[in-house]
Amino acid sequence: MTDSAFIARLDGYGLTTAEIHYHRPDAPSLLQLFVWQQYDLAPGFPVLFDFLDHWRREIRAAVHSVRIVHDRLLRPAEWRAVDGVFKIR
């Protein structure tokens, strides 16, 4: 069985982290922080925007700002060519 997160990354999804700063209705002078993480597609971020739409509809807290970090690509491990031959006796 293959990990669904790995399959999503092969399809172009990357791990997206969003810091959502918001004001609670009972304490509007305080700025709160909510961290959200999910696999999403950059640069459109459809999963994140669906979540933010849900937030606007269902949660009474007003969003102040959103900071997004996204790991775009599934990359191979770093490697370097070695110039020379090593003999093991």
Edge-to-edge, what's the strand order for the sheet holding 27-40? 27-40, 14-24, 62-70
pTM: 0.73
Give the per-residue pLDDT at 4: 83
Q: What is the pLDDT of residues 38-89, one digit of tens each?
A: 999 988 999 999 999 999 999 999 999 999 988 764 455 555 666 666 666 6
Distance of CA 23 to CAs 14, 46, 59, Å? Answer: 29, 24, 11
- pLDDT at residue 15 greater than cutoff 70: yes
Per-domain residue ranges for the chain? Answer: 15-70
Buried b (16+ CB within 10 A) or exposed e, 38-56: ebbbeeebebbeebbeebe
